[in-house]
Chains A and B, each alone.
Chain A
């Protein structure tokens, strides 16, 4: 068994997990903001055309 690609050390794995968590939180925030924006646009458009 060759060790390629090299296995991450505990510190590397921890850093990777931290980064992935950061990206996931950022993505949740962006998706929630987009959903809120679409809701607001819909309300405005319905009011405009209503």
Chain B
């Protein structure tokens, strides 16, 4: 955030006039704007879960190729993020949280963002195939396609279940990491896929509960907007219960040891308790929280730590027990 434009959100920038008058140019963009287009915070989570998949897989992958595989997962996730920002530039402009992103702020031209995203998507899949194998490259391509076409273009503006099905896009990295080593898919990476899949709805809806107005203004049919806060709280608790069951499956089915089993049990118990507190939050008749959605805010923060801890636990179990 060291640039004049980024810190001032475009309002005070000396380039404001020239950027606005030459809309076909991306000349006002700083290199940091292109990095922002890749959604670096999302990429960091994807890299982490992808690396765990690679770490758990049986067999050996040369460190250079392993690094390349992780890099491809990161670039592909970033490229999908750029394509998402290109397609959702109208929504981003309407939402407080996203209106300063490079495209709605006028610092990067939409066509340039599209070209950037497509180029990185294709390059990441080809390099993954060359460096590892066709299976990993195929799943990587599938994850990009799922995020862009199924979630962003098809579901997000049509159904409040968008985040449930779309959550699969973020669940692919452990599968890709595993496939990069083995050239195939097995039960354990599929269970890790399931954990991320069932974690996404309670995680995202906890955020949506207090960012609900922003989505409503942008016309995105997020669950709190369409079904109300009360129903969203019920769904959060329901998914937390399912997640708790899925999270202990790797241990129950014998794919991990007790280190993971105990960790997953305790962490999931914490998630269920916090989700219960979200469900029981003091609220008025319309379901509006009387506590400023304090339990939902806590649940959102816990969910981030939860996923990281679950994946650290499965890696630690692999290292210590196996």
Cβ-closest chain A residue relative to B4: A15
Q: Would B14 and A9 count as touching, CB distance under 8 A?
A: yes
B-side contacts of A8, CB under 8 Å: 15, 17-18
Q: Would B21 and A19 count as touching, CB distance under 8 A?
A: no
B-side contacts of A4, CB under 8 Å: 21
A44 to B27, CA, bound (A): 39
Among A11, A22, A25, A41, the residue within 8 A (CB) of B65 is A41
A7 to B282, CA, bound (A): 58
A8 to B22, CA, bound (A): 11
Q: Would A19 and B18 count as touching, CB distance under 8 A?
A: no
Q: Known contacts being A20-B27, A44-B65, is A15 close to B131, with CB within 8 Å?
A: no
Q: Would B62 and A44 count as touching, CB distance under 8 A?
A: yes
- Of residues 11 through 35 on chain A, the ones whose CB sits less than 8 Å from some CB of chain B are 11-12, 15-16, 19-20, 22-23, 25-26
Q: Would B28 and A5 count as touching, CB distance under 8 A?
A: no
A22 to B64, CA, bound (A): 29
Among B22, B62, B130, the residue within 8 A (CB) of A5 is B22
Q: Would B30 and A16 count as touching, CB distance under 8 A?
A: no
B46 CB within 8 Å of chain A:
no
A11 to B68, CA, bound (A): 42
The count of residues in chain A whose C-beta lies closer than 8 Å to any C-beta of chain B is 21
Q: Would B21 and A11 count as touching, CB distance under 8 A?
A: no
Q: Would A12 and B30 count as touching, CB distance under 8 A?
A: no
Among B15, B62, B130, the residue within 8 A (CB) of A12 is B15
Q: Would A48 and B28 count as touching, CB distance under 8 A?
A: no
A-side contacts of B21, CB under 8 Å: 4-6
B229 CB within 8 Å of chain A:
no
Q: What's the dominant secondary structure at chain B's contact region?
A: helix
Question: Within the complex, what minimum Cβ distance (angstroms) separates A29 from chain B?
Answer: 10
A23 to B4, CA, bound (A): 15
Q: Would A23 and B30 count as touching, CB distance under 8 A?
A: yes
A-side contacts of B27, CB under 8 Å: 16, 19-20
A25 to B31, CA, bound (A): 9
A23 to B37, CA, bound (A): 14
A8 to B150, CA, bound (A): 43
- Of residues 1 through 43 on chain B, the ones whose CB sits less than 8 Å from some CB of chain A are 3-4, 14-15, 17-18, 21-22, 27-31, 34
- Of residues 49 through 75 on chain B, the ones whose CB sits less than 8 Å from some CB of chain A are 62, 64-65, 68, 71
A-contacting residues of B (Cβ < 8 Å)?
3-4, 14-15, 17-18, 21-22, 27-31, 34, 62, 64-65, 68, 71, 130-131
A-B pairs with the 8 shortest C-beta distances? A5-B21, A26-B31, A40-B64, A12-B14, A44-B64, A8-B18, A23-B31, A44-B62
17 contacts between A and B (CB under 8 A): A5-B21, A12-B15, A15-B4, A15-B15, A16-B28, A19-B3, A19-B30, A22-B31, A23-B31, A23-B34, A25-B31, A26-B31, A37-B71, A40-B64, A41-B68, A44-B65, A48-B62
Other than the given A15-B4, A20-B27, A44-B64, 18 more pairs (CB < 8 A) read A6-B17, A8-B18, A12-B17, A15-B15, A16-B28, A19-B27, A19-B28, A19-B29, A19-B30, A22-B30, A23-B31, A23-B34, A25-B31, A37-B71, A41-B64, A41-B130, A43-B64, A44-B62
